[in-house]
A and B are shown apart, each in its own frame.
Chain A
Amino acid sequence: MNKTSIISFFILIVFLGIGSSWVINKANESNSIPPPVMKKIPDFNLMNYDGKPFSRDSLLNKISVIDFIFTSCPGPCPIMSKNMKELYNQYKLHPDLQFISISVDPDYDNLEVLNAYADANGVTDKRWKFLRGKMIDIKNLSTNGFLFMSENLPAGHSVKFVLLDSNANIRQYYDGTDKASISILRKHLNIFLKNMNLKS
């Protein structure tokens, strides 16, 4: 092993160091860009499971993750709620982030049922809300607010999680049943929460 090979090894190390730092920086930069605004949510009037009204104003100044479910749903909802629960637990230190599950079966999902559902999902504070309202309002919100296909509610509801910013704008849709998609949601949540921390 002569001197030149040792020197070229060190040059290689320097080269790799600079190259990898550049890639890591680029990756970090690309990870700190929040998804762009897609559309504004129209006003709506629903009711939280504690009996208090919940409208578009309740979305302001908070980051929200929203999904549509119904408590007696056998299919994707249990998986969606399990994933939502995981997020709810992971972000317990962030009161600026709220999770909202809107029932698409308000006939069955009365306040009592929703309360039991919240309990079953280990909800202990106000960060996770369960909403109900008139079927026509919910259908309208799902179709015109979130651009979901809503002909066959309750069974035909979307499995998406929707990320809303602090001005009630839709930022991105995620597959609420897909681990990889939810890890992207987590990444985006971190960007918004970090920006919120910087402001306050």
Chain B
Amino acid sequence: MEKYFRFSTLSIVTTYLLIFFGGLVRVSGAGMGCPDWPKCFGRWIPPTNINQVPEIYIEKFNIVLAWVEYINRLFGAVVGLVILLSCFFAYLYFKKNKHIYIPILMALILTIIEGWLGSMLVHTVLDPITITLHLLLALIIIGLIIYSSIRAYIVIKGNFELNSNYPQRIKWLIFSLITCMVIEIIIGTEIRGALDMSRKDNPLIKGAILLNMLGSFKYAHTILGILLISITYYLRKILINLELSCSRLMLFSVNSMFVIFFLQILSGEFLVFFDVKPVIQLFHMWFSSLLIGLGVVQYTCFKISKI
């Protein structure tokens, strides 16, 4: 049984690394690093020099971008295997526990769809809606694995939420947090997409200037962000007032959420007021995926406190 917990934890860590790497592919502009899928320039090992590139692809060859994209695909395949193994152990030990087995099975199915979406990205030459779906699906997958993993943990080690007594309104706070976060992420990807479009129409103009040219939805992103950090603050206040009847994991996740929201506002404003630096963009996106994970942790804690 511990094997399942270990593998599901490994799935969470590697999936987060993969989300980071996916973001890296995006900000470094390596999305079309391999013009074909699943092979790269018609080869299973990407070309290391121009002579290995077939004539029809010749202008598209950039060795750095090809390898960045291909490592992302290989790593994706490894993560897929780790989730498959988790699923196998869940089947061995937790077949009858629908809170553990069903989510990890769904995660596995969605991972296969995620791989297919990745191929669609290449075929559609990075269609913006497909990029957003690719990210959202990754977030659903990570949420499912986190839920399943915590449910397995309490079976193995005992329920750490036994003494917790959360008021019902906390559930609605967590729900509204997760919903608003998803909306916030979608608005974020829209801003990012619009920035790319605008960059195409105005080559050689600095990113920060282009960002200022974008419509009013960039303000919606800031406003919703402030609303999110306020809800988190309120949630934290309620939990601290509960003192002992709140688990350490719950408190930790809310505290971390608060800190990360703060970092998000800092990095977001940096992008607007200074420059659209790719590394900051990358962490801004990745932190948002951590926030979703923390939201799922809180939801799970609440749920198991009612068992």
Contacts and interface: CB of A to CB of B under 8 A. Distances in A.
A174 B59 contact: yes
Contacts of B282: 20, 24
Given A27-B65, A194-B204, A181 B24 contact: no
Nearest to A190: B203
Contacts of A16: 20
Given A30-B65, A193-B204, A24 B28 contact: yes
A169 interface: no
Contacts of A91: 203
Given A24-B278, A90-B203, A172 B59 contact: yes
Given A1-B252, A173-B59, A189 B203 contact: yes
Nearest to B279: A21
Nearest to A194: B204
A24 B32 contact: no
Interface in A20-63: 20-21, 23-24, 26-31, 35
A180 B35 contact: yes
A190 B20 contact: no
A186 B203 contact: yes
B203 A27 contact: no
Given A24-B278, A90-B203, A180 B125 contact: yes
Interface in A127-182: 172-175, 179-181
B60 A184 contact: yes
Given A24-B278, A27-B29, A184 B204 contact: no
Q: Size band of the B side of the interface?
A: 20 to 34
B258 to A, nearest CB: 14
B159 to A, nearest CB: 18
B18 interface: no
Given A1-B249, A183-B32, A186-B203, A24 B24 contact: yes
A181 B61 CA distance: 10
Nearest to B63: A30
B283 to A, nearest CB: 7
Contact of A20 (B62, B125, B279): B279
Contacts of B27: 20, 24
A197 interface: yes
Contacts of B279: 17, 20-21, 24
Contacts of B129: none
B64 interface: yes
Interface of B: 20, 24, 27-30, 32, 35, 56, 58-60, 62-65, 68, 125, 200-204, 248-249, 252, 278-279, 282-283
Complex A-B, nearest 4 residue pairs according to Cβ-Cβ distance, in ascending order = A27-B28, A30-B64, A179-B125, A1-B252
Interface of A: 1, 16-17, 20-21, 23-24, 26-31, 35, 89-91, 93-94, 172-175, 179-181, 183-186, 189-190, 193-194, 197
28 contacts: A1-B252, A16-B20, A17-B283, A20-B27, A21-B279, A23-B28, A24-B24, A24-B28, A24-B279, A26-B64, A27-B28, A27-B29, A27-B64, A28-B28, A29-B64, A30-B62, A30-B63, A30-B65, A31-B29, A31-B62, A31-B65, A89-B201, A90-B203, A93-B202, A173-B59, A179-B125, A186-B200, A197-B204
Given A1-B248, A26-B64, 10 more contacts: A23-B24, A24-B27, A27-B30, A30-B64, A90-B202, A175-B56, A184-B59, A190-B203, A190-B204, A193-B203
